[in-house]
Structure 1
């Protein structure tokens, strides 16, 4: 940073109700007590980032704005007693990239309370291959295990299995010895299902039941749901006794229309996953697991690398629902 007064960032600007993206030179701002300046090596593209670029006020309230809810890099300077210059760190969630300038920039300034120390066995590139999506998937698996879910109990269903969270959840469960059933809107090519570690698959005819029955025959031992709405209801109604179902998304709906019977007659557990405000102690545990016992070898075909200059193309693909796998951004 020596002799530099500005850094490059992808900025979203609003002009007469229209939103445009461009790369701008941004000035450095002084650090307040407890703040850290991080030189970003890698970020990653998430659906929230794409929504932020088109003015979704549910994600970002005020513009101009720099998206990027993920970042990994090196501490450049610090007014924190917890982090010193030269340390490798990860920042995901909280308000980063939503209502605070995000990781699509060469530098970010964040509070110390948002920062995770980079695990020894992990690099910035690896961290962003996981990103928020991978952390959410791992947190879902972590909660399942803590609630007593075991491979011998039977198969675990993962909805939205070909998406960012779902595909990593499938791989983690498979690595831990679970039989995994992929649930997607439509049946996928068998090679795609095998690639993410799933052993079988179901489509919306099974995972999106519209019979309105209060209970369904038991078909799976547990589930990780990223869709919400009727899909979540179906997974709960068809779960084995004492099974656990996690929920982390609402792309299908934020409503949950069902009876209490799966909970009081089968002892099914519904576990909420809040990756954005997860306590730092658990956040560090999960990242350490991803760096070590839960580490994954990502299929190179599922990882694309972008720059700030090429990122717009990947954003458009994501908004058109044509993207597959993960996009990491090299700063």
Structure 2
């Protein structure tokens, strides 16, 4: 099978290239999937390149997402011909992933492809879109409604932010999209953003722990100083769903927004999410993510494009969603 193989030399230098790999090198598990599509996330950039502490052994096949057709299964839940999706479970990090024509994984890690979605559309969604839907669901579970006011999306031109913007707009929310790239304004408005907020307005800390109550909810992909600033701008009882740390892992904030305004900070993890919530999220994606807006986010790619794309996403140069046709 063809795969993007990342290898490490004696000096610890990593290199990634498309190679023919014998199936006997694949890890042992109970389901083999003929992979049709994968995608590119920040973690993939790390695994293609420096490793980021995510990859345990080399050679390695990255790709934390994939969608395809079951080829062999010894688990009763899946049979040959079934369409499936995989995100998370450290596949593509500690386990060989989706940047190959075949993947062998545990049945527990798979989810049936939702009715109404193709495998290509599922990878246009990928971990980024799955995470975005988990964030929207968490905000809704904590009381967010369209009539509550504007919802902020930080890092809006990235993968998670793009899908979150499209979903929220489709559900009737006013979306304020934060971006540091002015050239993405038309793209974000096309996804449904009603306001564009320049990144520089929010990426500096202030001494005041509270500012004017502005946002009814927030999907935050940035973290760091921006998240600290946003917490002080949330309306009473509002929630922030934290999904990323593009701006840093630190949080230079105070507890004042939590104590005086009842603000909620909701952590969103997509990797170890329980099966039932995965199915719920994918069903919501099939229903609440407009496919025409999803298509507007897509940048097509092949296995041979991945070394460059991996480097680009680490530098913040990838807009929207990359869909990798592993068979091309």
Q: Does 1:215 align with 2:210?
A: yes
User: Does the CA contact (< 8 Å) of 1:75 and 1:85 recur in 2?
Assistant: yes
Shift of 1:31: 9.6
Which aligned runs of 4 or more in structure 1 are off by greater than 6 angstroms?
30-34
Whether the 8 Å CA contact 2:239–2:263 is kept in 1: the answer is yes
By relative contact order (CA 8 Å, sep 6+), the higher-ranking structure is 2
**How far 1:21 sits from its partner (Å)?**
1.3
1:243 matched to 2:210:
no
Secondary structure, aligned partner of 1:171:
helix
Matches within 5 A, 1:26-65: 26-29=21-24, 35-65=30-60
2:179 aligned partner: 184
Does 2:268 match 1:259? no
Q: What's the counterpart of residue 97 of structure 2?
A: 102
Aligned in 2, Cα 1:307/1:190: closer, same or farther, shift over 3 Å? closer
> CA 1:309 to 1:190, structure 2 compared with 1: closer, same or farther past 3 Å?
closer
TM-score normalised to structure 1 length: 0.92
- Once the two structures are overlaid, the 10-residue window that deviates more, 281-290 or 252-261, is 252-261
Q: Quote the offset at 1:269 in angstroms.
A: 1.1
Q: For 1:270 and 1:100, locate their aligned partners in 2 and report how far apart those are by CA, in whole Å.
A: 31
Decide whether aligned partners of structure 1 residues 254 and 296 sit closer, same or farther in structure 2, where only a CA change above 3 A counts.
same
Counterparts in 2 of 1:73 and 1:175: CA distance versus 1, 3 Å: same
Shift of 1:189: 5.2
Measure, in 1, the Cα distance between the counterparts of 2:132 and 2:27. Answer: 34
2: CA distance between counterparts of 1:318 and 1:68? 14
> How far, CA to CA, are the matches of 1:87 and 1:159 in structure 2?
37
Q: CA deviation at 1:32?
A: 9.4
Q: 2:151 aligns with which of 153, 156, 167?
A: 156
Aligned 1:62-81 pairs, distance under 5 A: 62-81=57-76
The reply to whether residue 167 of structure 1 matches residue 162 of structure 2 is: yes
**Residues in 1 aligned to 2:302 and 2:150: alpha-carbon distance in whole angstroms:** 39
8 Å Cα contact 2:152-2:177 kept in structure 1: yes
Q: Is 2:44 the counterpart of 1:13?
A: no
Three-state SS of the structure 2 residue aligned to 1:292 is: helix
Contact 2:33 2:69 in 1 (8 A): yes
Q: Over the residues paired in the alignment, what is the CA RMSD in angstroms?
A: 1.9
Kept after mapping to 1: 8 A contact 2:49/2:311: no
Instruction: Give the C-alpha shift of residue 122 in structure 1.
Output: 0.9
With 182-191 and 144-153 compared, the bigger mean Cα shift is at 182-191
2:120 corresponds to: 125
In the alignment, is the contact (CA less than 8 A) between 1:70 and 1:92 conserved in 2?
yes
> How far apart, in 2, do the equivalents of 1:33 and 1:80 lie?
14
Residue 270 (1) aligns with residue 231 (2): no
State the aligned residue count: 325
